[in-house]
Structure 1
Amino acid sequence: MSVLADRRLLDQLFARWGPVVHLHDVVTGGLPRALLIRGVDRADLIRVGKAAFVRQQDWAAADERERFRLRALAFGLCLREDAHLTGEAAALLLGLPLVDDPSGLPVAIRPGNAHVGHDRSPYGRVRRGYLPLTCRTERARVPVVSPAFCAVDIARHLGPRDGLVVADAVLHTGVDREALTRIAEHMLAYPGIATVAWVAAHADGRAESPLESVARYAFLAADRPVPLSNVWIGAGSRWFRVDHLLPEDGVVLEGDGAVKYRNRPDADVIVTDEKERERLIRGLGYGVVRYTWADAVHRPGLLLHRVQEAARLRPHASLPTGWRLDPPWADADGGSLRG
């Protein structure tokens, strides 16, 4: 078969099945297995799983995190039915945030005795342990653990900061905090389960981004009062939603995301509006601290110091109270209106 004919068939194959194609997809479509072999020989395809392939152009364009996601898809497509992707691999397929780029190989879990050794291959690792039916789902044709189980697994293996970021995101989607604790109750002898309990107790579904979560972690790790997330502040007839508020210090924290102004034609308008917004908030008696990802992750001590300074330098002696947790158009009785 000619090169052009092969490439047309590959175009159709990947258009149907997505960025990762399994050998079974070729057979199901009535195509010859040799199509994949020829694609690899011509460097049109790259083998990323035991029987799974991606297009070379997709692989070349992918960053490290996307390459890990593609490898996770490939590993997941090659798993037996009782194994489900977990940890960082599951987080990427579930759309949950990770603080750092994943490292190593994708990991899956199979129900069974946790003391039994792992199954390893060049493409991933399968371990055994607690995995109830309620914690199994599927994404992009691949078996993965549920978001709650993923949060538990991330906390156990990557620690409290990374676990908090994922748990905040999971709770923000509407998952109950008890879903995390119920899973942990069946894993009391597992390493890292104490971290899971800490994460479950401190997760906040009001946090809306990894940046907000790592900022919250800076306060938790220092045993400082934790700011409230996404609070509404009234300024006359106007209301502003701020990323965080420390009500006992009268300090507002605002996170500056990495892509906030990037390549935006209205960047000047955004900056002007933010300056006016900050002027009005300061005029109410709040201190304001802006922070970046680098501040929250790499310089948490400096961030906490800036908050202390902002509290000390506030222009008003009394604490401002005109804030609420719910939107200003919500019913006042359920809106937690202050002041």
Structure 2
Amino acid sequence: MRPQLEGLRDKQFGVFTTAQARIEYTRAELRARLHRGEWVPVFHGVYREATVQPGPELRVEAARLSMGLPVLIAAYDTAAELHGFSVVERNTTHVLGVQLSRSKHLVVHQDRLDPTQVASINGVSVTTPARTTIDLARTLNRMDALATLDAASRLGLSSDELREELTRHHRRRGFRQAAGLIDLVDGRAESPMESRTRLRCIDAGLPHPQPQLEVRTPDGPRRLDLGWPEYRIGLEYDSVAWHTGMHAAARDNVRHNHLATRGWTIFYATALTVLHQPELFTHPIRQAINRRRVESNGR
């Protein structure tokens, strides 16, 4: 890349406009680089090099340049990416503004915004963590909304901050959903799927499970994704990343044998059952809890 365009690219998170490229390149040279795949369009009239990853900072800057604005504020999913608590993977950039988008991959929200609800991350304007979290808690489906709330809490956002921000969203779409989910927030959840699994249990009418429950065994402490210590019942989310591999079965068998010697019953959930068939784990857990209650009352 020629020096002047390289300098502009480096100041703009790796993107540049057609007009900027045309300072040092002819139209034929620009088209040739696009045809060879060396340069890749991001949004209308804005490009990146093929070797540059399109992270959130790059995409927001590309949107700003494409819309010809001095400042553009990242919001919703894109703001969550920048803050580090995004739980959904989307190929879409979300910003606040009034202009219509020319791209299906760029969503412009015409939301009201107080100056106190704006922060800056690495030079990118973004809605504050609290504003971002409540926006998503209102608009995502319930499982993703709770996963977002838990993730934000894990990074230090308090329930009081969330409730204070929520007051600014009264009468907005999804206000009741967000208000109800704030009472369920638990920053101990270590993954979005653990949060979704916990919500499935709560929605099934089970007692609220404790995330990341530590159980002491003769072989040392063991941690369960979710648990009901009063009933000695645990629930593990069976993720592919953790429960596959050469030694996975042996490791898990030994681990759960130690729990069994302490009177614990362990159930399992998978992505399929959490997302589509939660009754396959919530119903057996309910039965086990009822049995433990009967056993306890019979003593």
Q: Find out whether 1:75 has 2:63 as its counterpart.
A: yes
SS at match of 1:211: helix
Please say if residues 33 and 39 of structure 2, whose CA atoms lie closer than 8 Å, have aligned partners that are also in contact: yes
Q: Which residue of 2 aligns with 1:252?
A: 234
Query: How has the CA–CA distance of structure 1 residues 77 and 205 changed in structure 2, closer, same or farther, with 3 Å as cutoff?
Result: farther
How far 1:20 moved relative to its partner? 4.1
Looking at structure 1, the residues matched to 57 and 90 of structure 2 have their Cα atoms a distance apart, in angstroms, of 9
Between 144-153 and 189-198, report the one with greater CA deviation: 144-153
Looking at structure 1, the residues matched to 9 and 264 of structure 2 have their Cα atoms a distance apart, in angstroms, of 53
Q: Which residue of 2 aligns with 1:119?
A: 99
Please say if residues 17 and 46 of structure 2, whose CA atoms lie closer than 8 Å, have aligned partners that are also in contact: yes
Q: Find out whether 1:84 has 2:73 as its counterpart.
A: yes
Structure 2 letter corresponding to 1:269: H
Looking at structure 1, the residues matched to 57 and 278 of structure 2 have their Cα atoms a distance apart, in angstroms, of 30
- Of 17, 23, 33, 1:23 maps to 17
What do the CA deviations read for 1:75-104 (whole angstroms, capped 9, x no partner)? 2565645541212222333332334x437x
Q: Find out whether 1:40 has 2:34 as its counterpart.
A: yes
Please say if residues 288 and 310 of structure 1, whose CA atoms lie closer than 8 Å, have aligned partners that are also in contact: no
In the TM superposition, 1:1-339 aligns within 5 A as: 6=1, 16=10, 20-23=14-17, 32=24, 34=26, 38-56=32-50, 71=59, 74-75=62-63, 78=66, 80=69, 83-99=72-88, 101-102=89-90, 105-110=92-97, 118-123=98-103, 124-139=106-121, 141-236=123-218, 238-261=220-243, 267-311=245-289, 317=295
Structure 2 letter corresponding to 1:159: N
| Long gaps (5+) in structure 2 | none
Between 216-225 and 173-182, report the one with greater CA deviation: 216-225
SS at match of 2:100: strand
Looking at structure 2, the residues matched to 260 and 15 of structure 1 have their Cα atoms a distance apart, in angstroms, of 40
How far 1:41 moved relative to its partner? 4.5
Looking at structure 2, the residues matched to 11 and 251 of structure 1 have their Cα atoms a distance apart, in angstroms, of 61
Looking at structure 2, the residues matched to 261 and 46 of structure 1 have their Cα atoms a distance apart, in angstroms, of 38
Please say if residues 13 and 57 of structure 2, whose CA atoms lie closer than 8 Å, have aligned partners that are also in contact: no
Structure 2 letter corresponding to 1:276: V
Structure 1 letter corresponding to 2:38: D
Please say if residues 289 and 310 of structure 1, whose CA atoms lie closer than 8 Å, have aligned partners that are also in contact: no
Sequence identity, in percent? 22
Number of paired residues? 291
Please say if residues 207 and 213 of structure 1, whose CA atoms lie closer than 8 Å, have aligned partners that are also in contact: yes
Query: How has the CA–CA distance of structure 1 residues 220 and 97 changed in structure 2, closer, same or farther, with 3 Å as cutoff?
Result: farther
What do the CA deviations read for 1:32-80 (whole angstroms, capped 9, x no partner)? 2657555324432121123432334668xxxxxx799965563256564
Q: What TM-score, normalized to structure 2?
A: 0.81
What do the CA deviations read for 1:208-236 (whole angstroms, capped 9, x no partner)? 10110010110232233221001111113
Over the aligned positions, Cα root-mean-square deviation in angstroms equals: 3.6
Please say if residues 156 and 193 of structure 1, whose CA atoms lie closer than 8 Å, have aligned partners that are also in contact: yes
Structure 1 letter corresponding to 2:174: G
Query: How has the CA–CA distance of structure 1 residues 147 and 294 changed in structure 2, closer, same or farther, with 3 Å as cutoff?
Result: farther
Query: How has the CA–CA distance of structure 1 residues 70 and 161 changed in structure 2, closer, same or farther, with 3 Å as cutoff?
Result: farther
SS at match of 1:189: coil
Looking at structure 2, the residues matched to 134 and 208 of structure 1 have their Cα atoms a distance apart, in angstroms, of 30
| Long gaps (5+) in structure 1 | 1-5, 60-65, 111-117, 320-339
Looking at structure 1, the residues matched to 64 and 215 of structure 2 have their Cα atoms a distance apart, in angstroms, of 46
Looking at structure 2, the residues matched to 142 and 50 of structure 1 have their Cα atoms a distance apart, in angstroms, of 20
Looking at structure 2, the residues matched to 76 and 227 of structure 1 have their Cα atoms a distance apart, in angstroms, of 44
Query: How has the CA–CA distance of structure 1 residues 258 and 268 changed in structure 2, closer, same or farther, with 3 Å as cutoff?
Result: closer
Please say if residues 8 and 16 of structure 2, whose CA atoms lie closer than 8 Å, have aligned partners that are also in contact: no
Structure 2 letter corresponding to 1:95: G
What do the CA deviations read for 1:250-282 (whole angstroms, capped 9, x no partner)? 2111112232255xxxx3334322211101111
How far 1:11 moved relative to its partner? 11
